[in-house]
Amino acid sequence: MRRRSLLIAVPAGLVTLAACGDEDSGSSSAGDSATPQASGTSAPPPPKIVDGPLPAITAGTKFDEKPTVAKGSGDPSKDLAVKTVIAGGGKAVAENDFVSANYLGQVWTSAKVFDNSYDRKTPLIIQLAQGSIIDGWRYALAGKKTGSRVQFSVPPAYGYGEQGNEQAGIKGDDTLVFVVDVQDTFNAKSSAKGKEVPQDDAALPKVGTNTDGKAPSIEVPKADAPKKLVAEYVLEGDGAEVGAQDSVLVQYKGVVWDGGKEFDSTYGRKQLTSFSLQQVVKGWAQGLTGKKVGSRVLIVIPPDLGYGDNPPQGSGIEKDSTLVFSVDILAKM
């Protein structure tokens, strides 16, 4: 998959190849379009939020339709102008959430569209956190509900700053106009919401089916670990299937088969994690490929598809350990 939108670098857990010595494998840079990626400059103070002015949306006026936006008229506001064009009734977006959204961005003075996700047919999934996204997005979307269309104009101080974005044709004094359709939002309390699948094999671990955002239980049987990879639904979602080249946003918990000791968990860190399936141990990549978004998956990884005789230092994982994971696939990126 050709990722043109921003990949978020988040603290990587032990499943990533970074734990095996590749310290740079957990992060990626933006592609060949201008996404709402944060610049390297220090953050300004919170902006004043005003109602306008904002240019008209002249076509594509329904939620999740690609909009056409008129050229800005007169001078834009020096403040952050924000308008909820369509009010959704879903979950409220909060600071540090990961949001899934389709968007279009253009320059106020020229109406030049410098980026949009509608043509890529892939929503942007990005964290509303300082340093991960331009501040205009952080402040404009906080408190908005999923299902909402939000239009806002971003002055340079809350966009790409005085340096602009030469690649996208954005100058340092350009005010930017965005239309954002907020599809979903995820945080440390998010869970898979799929349909329960019977766990009938007594030789396999049993995983809890709670969907309250708390870590599910993992009960490992007192039996020999399987020699081959196991990847079974606990909760089966109805979203798109994950491809071998995809990146995913997940909650997970990992325990060692022998003794059932937990060694890693997003629940314990209270922070979701995202990564490419090209950046994780083979058992994770193979186990999640083909599984549906919205699912909870039991993955049992034999040593040859996990860490083998080279487990991460300080992880508490012994050599040649079989690992057991519960993974909630929240989104495909």
Number of Cβ within a 10 Å radius of residue 324: 24
- Tokens describing residue 40: 């390297």
| Residues 17, 25 contacting (CB under 8 angstroms) | yes
pLDDT bin (cut points 50, 70, 90) of residue 2 is very low
- Interstrand relation of 68-69 and 80-86 (parallel, antiparallel or unpaired): unpaired
The per-residue b/e assignment along 227-237, b for 16 or more CB within 10 angstroms, e otherwise, is eebbbbbbbbb
Residue 124's SS3 state is strand
Determine the straight-line distance between the first and last CA of the chain, rounded to whole angstroms.
Answer: 10
Which has more confidence, 19 or 256? 256
H/E segment holding residue 140: helix 135-141
Span 178-205, average pLDDT: 97
Residue-averaged pLDDT of the chain: 89
Res. 240 pLDDT band, cuts 50 70 90: very high
Among 83, 125, 75, 120, smallest CA distance to 100 is for 125
User: Percentage of the chain surpassing pLDDT 70?
Assistant: 87
Do 305 and 233 contact (CB within 8 A), yes or no?
no
Give phi and psi for 304, each to the nearest 5: -70, -15
Q: Encode pLDDT of 265-302 as tens digits.
A: 999 999 999 999 999 999 999 999 999 999 999 999 99
- Residue pair 80/154 in contact (Cβ under 8 Å)? The answer is yes
Backbone angles phi, psi at 311, to 5 degrees: -70, 160
pLDDT digits (tens, 9 = 90+) for 113-151: 999 999 999 899 999 999 999 999 999 999 999 999 999
What does each C-alpha distance from 173 to 65, 158, 297 come to in angstroms?
29, 11, 48
Report in angstroms the alpha-carbon separations of 192 from 214, 252, 255, 327, 330.
11, 11, 19, 9, 6
Q: Which of 18-22, 213-217, 251-255, 298-302 has the lowest mean pLDDT?
A: 18-22
The secondary element (H helix, E strand) that includes residue 249 is strand 247-256
User: What would the two tokens of residue 59 be?
Assistant: 């076509």
pLDDT band at 313 (very low <50, low <70, confident <90, very high): confident
Does residue 6 contact residue 101 with C-beta atoms inside 8 Å? no
Residue 314 has pLDDT above 90, yes or no: no
Choice between 12 and 34, residue whose per-residue pLDDT is larger: 34
Instruction: Identify the three-state secondary structure at position 303.
Output: helix
DSSP alpha helix (H) spans, 195-235: none
